Structure 1
Amino acid sequence: MWVLNNVASSVGDPNQRLTSWFLRALISRASKVCPTAMNSLNGNGVVRRRLMSVTELAGYVDLIPWHRFGYCASNSAIFKAVQGFQKVHVLDFSITHCMQWPTLIDALAKRPEGPPSLRITVPSFRPQVPPLLNVSCEEVGLRLGYFSKFREVPFEFNVIGNSSSETITSTSEDSYKFQFELLLSQLNPCSLNLQDDEALVVNFQNWLRYLPDERIGGDATSRKDAYNINSLRDSFLNMISGLNPRIVVVVDEDSDLNATSLTSRMATCFNYLWIPFDALETFMPKDSCQRLEYESDIGHKIENIIGFEGLQRIERLDSGATVSQRIRNAGFFSIPFCEETVKEVKGLLDEHASGWGMKREEDMLVLTWKGHNSVFATAWVANNNNNIGLDLED
Structure 2
Amino acid sequence: MWVLNNVASSVGDPNQRLTSCFLRALISRASSVCPTTMSFNSSSTIHRRLMSVTELAGYVDLIPWHRFGFCASNSAIFKAIQGCPRVHILDFSITHCMQWPTLIDALAKRPEGPPSLRITVPSCRPLVPPLLNVSTEEVGLRLGNFAKFRDVPFEFNIIDVDTSSLLSHLTPSILNLRDDEVLVVNCQNWLRYLSDETMGSAHQDASLRDTFLDIIKGLNPCIIVVVDEDSDLSAPSLTSRITTCFNYLWIPFDALETFLPKDSYQRLEYESDIGHKIENIISFEGFQRIERLESGAKMCQRVKNVGFFSIPFSEETVREVKFLLDEHASGWGMKREEDMLVLTWKGHNSVFATAWVPNGLED
Q: TM-score interval w.r.t. the shorter chain?
A: over 0.9
SS at the partner of 1:49?
coil
Corresponding residue of 2:6: 6
> Structure 1 runs of 4+ off > 6 angstroms?
none
Secondary structure of the residue that 1:367 maps to in structure 2? strand
Cα distance in 1, alignment partners of residues 101 and 47 from structure 2? 29
Structure 2: distance between partners of 1:270 and 1:43: 19
TM-score by length of 1: 0.90
Q: Secondary structure at the match of 1:4?
A: helix
1:232 Cα offset (Å): 1.4
After superposition, the C-alpha distances for 1:86-116 in whole angstroms (9 at most, x for unaligned) are 1000000000000000000001011111110
What amino acid does structure 2 have at the position aligned with 1:297? Answer: D
Deviation at 1:214, TM superposition (A): 1.9
Q: Which residue of 1 aligns with 2:319?
A: 343
Question: 1:191 aligned to 174, 177, 181, which one?
Answer: 174
Name the aligned partner's letter for residue 301 of structure 1. Answer: K
Residue of structure 2 aligned with 1:281, choices 257, 269, 273: 257
Distance in 2, Cα, partners of 1:239 & 1:161: 18
Identity of aligned residues (%): 80
Report if aligned partners of 1:89, 1:200 keep a CA contact under 8 Å in 2: yes
How far apart are 1:47 and its partner, in Å? 5.8
- Measured after TM superposition, the shift of residue 2 of structure 1 is 1.0
Verify the 8 A CA contact 1:28 1:303 in the aligned structure 2.
yes
**Structure 2 counterparts to residues 113-132 of structure 1, below 5 A:** 113-132=112-131
Measured in 2, the distance between the counterparts of 1:32 and 1:353 equals: 40
Paired with 1:65 and 1:43, the residues of 2 have a C-alpha distance of: 29
Query: Given that residues 200 and 206 in structure 2 are in contact (C-alpha distance below 8 angstroms), is that contact kept between their aligned partners in structure 1?
Result: no
The gaps in structure 1 that reach 5 residues or longer are 163-178, 219-227, 390-394
CA contact (8 A) 1:200 1:247 kept: yes
CA contact under 8 A between 2:280 and 2:290: conserved in structure 1? Answer: yes
Q: Does 1:67 align with 2:66?
A: yes
Give me the whole-angstrom Cα distance separating, in 2, the residues matched to 1:357 and 1:43.
34
Does the CA contact (< 8 Å) of 2:124 and 2:163 recur in 1?
Answer: no
Question: TM-score w.r.t. structure 2 length?
Answer: 0.97
Any conservation in 2 of the 1:161–1:182 contact (CA below 8 Å)? no
Whole-Å separation in 1 of the counterparts to 2:163 and 2:126: 11
* Residues in 2 aligned to 1:42 and 1:65: alpha-carbon distance in whole angstroms: 32
Aligned mates of 1:297, 1:100 — CA distance in 2 = 20
CA distance, structure 2, for counterparts of residue 94 and residue 158 of structure 1: 15
Give the 5 Å matches for 1:232-381: 232-381=208-357
Equivalent pair of 2:10/2:44 in contact (CA under 8 Å): no
| Structure-1 separation of matches of 2:233 and 2:46 | 20
Deviation track 1:358-389 (CA, whole Å, cap 9, x = no partner) reads 000012100000000000000000016xx321
Q: Which residue of 2 aligns with 1:150?
A: 149
The separation in 1 between residues aligned to 2:44 and 2:274, in whole angstroms, is 14
Aligned residues of 1:206 and 1:253 also touching (Cα < 8 A): yes
Q: Which residue of 2 aligns with 1:53?
A: 52
Match of 1:82 in 2: 81
- Contact 1:53–1:133 (CA under 8 A) maintained in structure 2: yes
Q: Which residue of 1 aligns with 2:190?
A: 207
Alignment check: 8 A CA contact 1:119 1:156 kept: yes
Per-residue deviation at 1:43?
5.0
Runs of 5+ unmatched residues, structure 2:
none
Superposed CA RMSD: 1.3
The offset of 1:3, in angstroms, is 1.1
Amino acid at match of 1:81: A
Separation of aligned partners in 1, 2:107 and 2:26: 48
Contact kept in structure 1, 2:46 and 2:269, CA below 8 Å? no
Query: Does the Cα contact within 8 Å between 1:27 and 1:42 map onto a contact in 2?
Result: no
Q: How many residues align?
A: 361
